[in-house]
Amino acid sequence: MNIDEPYQNHSNFNYSHKGYAYKSIIKIIILYLFGGLCLSIIQFTFLKSDSEQIFSIYSQGILQILLLLLPTLFFARRALLPTSVLFRKKTSVNSIQISAGIIGILAFQLFATGYTVLQEKIIPDFLFQYYKEIEETIENMYIKLLGGSGFSDLARALLIGSLIPAISEETLFRGFLQSSLEQDYKPHKAIIITALIFSILHLNPTGLIPLIFIGLFLGFVAWSTNNLILPMIIHFVNNTFAIIIIFSPQLTTIENQISDVSLFTGILLLAFGLIVLLISCFIIFFESKFKKIASI
């Protein structure tokens, strides 16, 4: 059977594309969380401290591949839509779109920094301590998981923290989920719903709004180009930027001084980052339009 053909036995499909996608992603999430729980039990029950960190590091990559990527491919293979549609295989991107995507995600870093400044300035005093505790807990978790020194540690961090998530998460969210929702919803609604699910599942309450924005950006890029390669590249660059900060003490020090940045500077960073991000979206969108016109 051709891999691009939809699954032939559709006798059990009594619901829409969105229904199948929602049910599938719930199963994938439950499977992923259950797998994570089992690995955590193994880690804390049977492993010594020196082996515990190594196991924790590599188990994240294994989880992403075995319990996120592969189940997505399995459910996609049984969907009503061909995999070429679900995974947006029929179009390509050019160097202009790739450049615009990379510039956009770098501008997003400015937006996220400005938003963090704004968030820390307006959060009530009685919540600020809890906010900082949650933020530091999440940061320490990522440092423990992806931190290190030397080329081998950096290569490992890029593999587990950038490459594997970029492929597996974009395949699931901008591929399987958003493509399915686009069949039953208008594009903007499919993009928004996918971005909300994507951001919530990252379990980062202090970074929820920036995660929603990056989800919207990735969703827009996937829809406008009808291609998953560019969202994967953007996702990879975003995660790589965070890993570079972890491996650079000077940059980490600067990031920890966000509380000292003025509200005015934070608003400027947020506005400038958002403007450049929107310009990047326009370039990617209109370049896709020009390509379609040129192909006629």
Q: What is the mean pLDDT of the chain?
A: 89
Residue at 240 is within a domain: yes
Amino acid letter for position 31: L
Question: Is residue 48 a part of any domain in this protein?
Answer: no
Whole-number Å distance between alpha carbons of 273 and 260: 19
Instruction: Quick: pLDDT tens for 121-163.
Output: 999 988 999 999 999 999 888 888 888 888 899 999 999 999 9
pLDDT tens-digit map of 5-64: 444 444 445 568 999 999 999 999 999 999 988 888 887 777 666 666 677 778 889 999
pLDDT of residue 251: 63
More confident residue, 199 or 43: 199
* pLDDT, average across residues 267-282: 97
- What pLDDT shows up at residue 57? 78
What pLDDT sits at residue 261? 87
Q: Which pair of tokens denotes residue 245?
A: 């900060």
Contact 68, 167 (CB under 8 A): no
Residue 37 belongs to a domain: no
> Looking at residues 156-183, what average pLDDT do you find?
97
Q: List, for residues 228-255, the tens digit of each pLDDT value.
A: 999 999 999 999 999 999 888 766 655 6
φ, ψ (nearest 5 deg) of residue 17: -60, -45
Residue 169 lies in a domain: yes
How many domains does the structure of the chain reveal? 1
Q: Long-range contacts of range 48-57, CB-CB < 8 Å, 24 or more positions apart?
A: 53/144, 56/144, 56/145, 57/145, 57/146, 57/156, 57/160
**Is residue 25 situated within a structural domain?**
no
Residue 230 lies in a domain: yes
pLDDT per position as a tens digit, 74-88: 999 999 899 999 999
Count of residues in the chain: 296
Using CA of residue 238, residue 240, residue 245, residue 246, what is the dihedral sign?
positive
Q: Which domain, by its residues, includes 276?
A: 86-295
Q: Are 179 and 81 in contact (CB under 8 A)?
A: yes
Q: How confident is the model at residue 157, as a pLDDT?
A: 93
Give a yes or no: residue 227 inside a domain.
Answer: yes
Please indicate, yes or no, if residue 8 is contained in any of the structural domains.
Answer: no
| pTM, rounded to two decimals | 0.91
